[in-house]
Structure 1
Amino acid sequence: MTTLSPRTVLIALFPAMLGACSSPPKPPIVDESQKRPANAQMAVDLQVCKNDLQNTRIQANESSRLAETTTATLVHMAARQQLMASIQEKAQANSIRIVHFGFNSTRVSIPTADASALMEEAKTAPLVVLRGRTDGTSDSSVESRIAQARANAVRDYLVAAGVDPARIRTTHQPIGDHLADNSSQRGRNLNRRVEIEVYRVPPVPAQSSAPPQL
C-alpha cells in the first residue's frame, strides 16, 4: 500500500479547489407568489382613495374658512343694523316743545314746570333747533323780522339759563307752516310760535351713495 504525502494530496486537489473559488455565487431564490406589481388594481385604487381623501380635507378646510368669514361678516352687519336702529329710535324720540307769542310780540313766557324740564334736556343735548313762525299771510320783511326775532329771543332765554350757544341753531319762516287754521283767531294764536326741538343724538348728515364700480 502506497502512502501519499500531504504535498501530493494538495497538488491533486488544487484544480478542484480553484474551480470552486472561481464560480460566482448563486442568486437568492425569489418567491414569485409574493410579488405585487406597481400597477396592480389594488394599488391603483388605494392611491385614488388617498388622493380623494386629501382633496376632501382641503375642501373641508376651505369650507370652514369661508364659514368663519361669513359668520364674522353677518355679525358685523347685525351690529351695524342694531346701531342704526338705535340711532333712528333715539332720533325719533327727539322732544319738541312750543313757545307761543302774543300778537306782534317777541316776549318769551314759559311756565316754570315746563321751563325746568326744557332746561334739563337742552343743557345735555348735542343740538337744539329753534324755528320761529308767525301768523302772517304775506311774505313781507316785517313778518320775517318778527319770526327771526322770536327765534333769537328763545335762544337768548336758553343761553341765559346755561345752555351752550354753540349747540343752538335758529331758523325762521315768515308765513306758512301753520299748526292750526290761520283764518280763525284761535288758529292764529297757535301759529305765532317758536318750536324747540331737542335732539337726543347728533343728526347724521345724508351721504350720497357712490356709483357702482363696473
Structure 2
Amino acid sequence: MRILTLSLVTALVAACSSPPPLPTAEDAPRRPINTPEAVEFQSCRHALHNGRIELRESREQVARQASRLVQWAQQVPADPPAPPGNTVITVRFAYGSHDADLPAAALQALLPAARQAPLILLRGRTDGTTDSVAEARIARDRAHAVRDLLVAAGIEPSRIRATYQPSGDAVADNSSPTGRDLNRRVEIELYRVAPVPLSTQALVAGENVP
C-alpha cells in the first residue's frame, strides 16, 4: 500500500512539473478591422442606415402634405350656380392689339360661369369699316387670344367655338373714339344649355322652331 501511494505522488509531481501545451492557431483567415476595406464597409452601412431614415421621413412629409391638400380641397367653395339664360361677357382691346389682359375681378366673374357652360361662343370684332385682310387677322387673333386664356384656366377646348368678323356688327357709334373703343371687343357668350341640332325634316315641318 505504501508503495502504491508513493507511485501516485511521484506521477502527480511529474505532471505538475511538465510545461503546459502551446496554443494552436486557427486555420481560418482573419481580417483586421482597420483595413481600408473594413472602413469603407462600415461607411456604407452607416450611409444605408441614414438613407433609410431620410426616406421614411420624406414619405411621412409627403403624406402630411397630401392630407393638407385634401383638407384644402374640401374647404374650397363650389362655383355658384349659373344664372338662367345665356350670359354674354365682353372683353375690350386696345387699338391694333389682340392681348387678352383681363382684370382679376373680370376673371373671377367669368371663369366659374364658363366652367358650367356646355358651349362657349367667342365673337372677335374690330372697329374697321372694310373687310380687309388685316382687320380679319386682328379679329381672329382676338378671338383666339380669349380662347387660349380660357383653355389655360382649365376650360375644355371642345366646348369653345371661335368666330370673327372684320367689320360691321358695331355696338356703338364708330365715328367717335369712344364708340370705336367699345367696338374693339370679343364677346363671350356662355350657353346654359347646349343647342340641339335640328334635322332637315324638323326644319321643313317647322318643329321646335320659335
Q: Give yes or no for the alignment of 1:209 onto 2:204.
A: yes
- 1:102 and 1:117 map into 2 onto residues whose CA distance is 21
Task: Please give the per-residue CA displacement for 1:21-58, whole angstroms capped at 9, x wherever unaligned.
Answer: xxxxxxxxxxxxxxxxxxxxxxxxxxxxxxxxxxxxxx
Task: Please give the per-residue CA displacement for 1:76-113, whole angstroms capped at 9, x wherever unaligned.
Answer: xxxxxxxxxxxxxx997110000000000001121212
- 1:182 and 1:156 map into 2 onto residues whose CA distance is 28
- 1:153 and 1:129 map into 2 onto residues whose CA distance is 13
CA-CA distance at 1:116 after TM superposition: 1.3
CA-CA distance at 1:134 after TM superposition: 0.2
Match of 2:163 in 1: 171
- 2:187 and 2:108 map into 1 onto residues whose CA distance is 17
Match of 1:136 in 2: 128
CA RMSD of aligned residues (A): 1.8
- 1:94 and 1:113 map into 2 onto residues whose CA distance is 20
- 2:194 and 2:175 map into 1 onto residues whose CA distance is 37
Task: State the secondary structure of the residue aligned to 1:114.
Answer: helix
- 2:204 and 2:168 map into 1 onto residues whose CA distance is 33
- 2:169 and 2:109 map into 1 onto residues whose CA distance is 26
Picking from 101, 106, 123, the partner of 2:115 is: 123
Task: State the secondary structure of the residue aligned to 2:158.
Answer: helix
Q: Give yes or no for the alignment of 1:182 onto 2:177.
A: no
What's the % identity of the aligned pairs? 56
Letter in 2 for 1:184: S
- 1:92 and 1:187 map into 2 onto residues whose CA distance is 30
Match of 1:109 in 2: 101
Conserved 8 A contact 1:148-1:172: yes
TM-score by length of 1: 0.54
Q: How has the CA–CA distance of structure 1 residues 92 and 139 changed in structure 2, closer, same or farther, with 3 Å as cutoff? A: farther
Conserved 8 A contact 1:91-1:203: no
Count residues with an aligned counterpart.
122
- 1:106 and 1:130 map into 2 onto residues whose CA distance is 14
Unmatched tracts of structure 1, length 5 or more: 1-89
- 1:91 and 1:205 map into 2 onto residues whose CA distance is 23
CA-CA distance at 1:161 after TM superposition: 0.4
Match of 1:8 in 2: none
Picking from 166, 187, 192, the partner of 2:184 is: 192
Conserved 8 A contact 1:147-1:173: yes
- 1:190 and 1:182 map into 2 onto residues whose CA distance is 9
Task: State the secondary structure of the residue aligned to 1:174.
Answer: strand
Question: Could you list the runs of 4 or more consecutive aligned residues of structure 1 that deviate by over 4 angstroms after TM superposition?
Answer: none
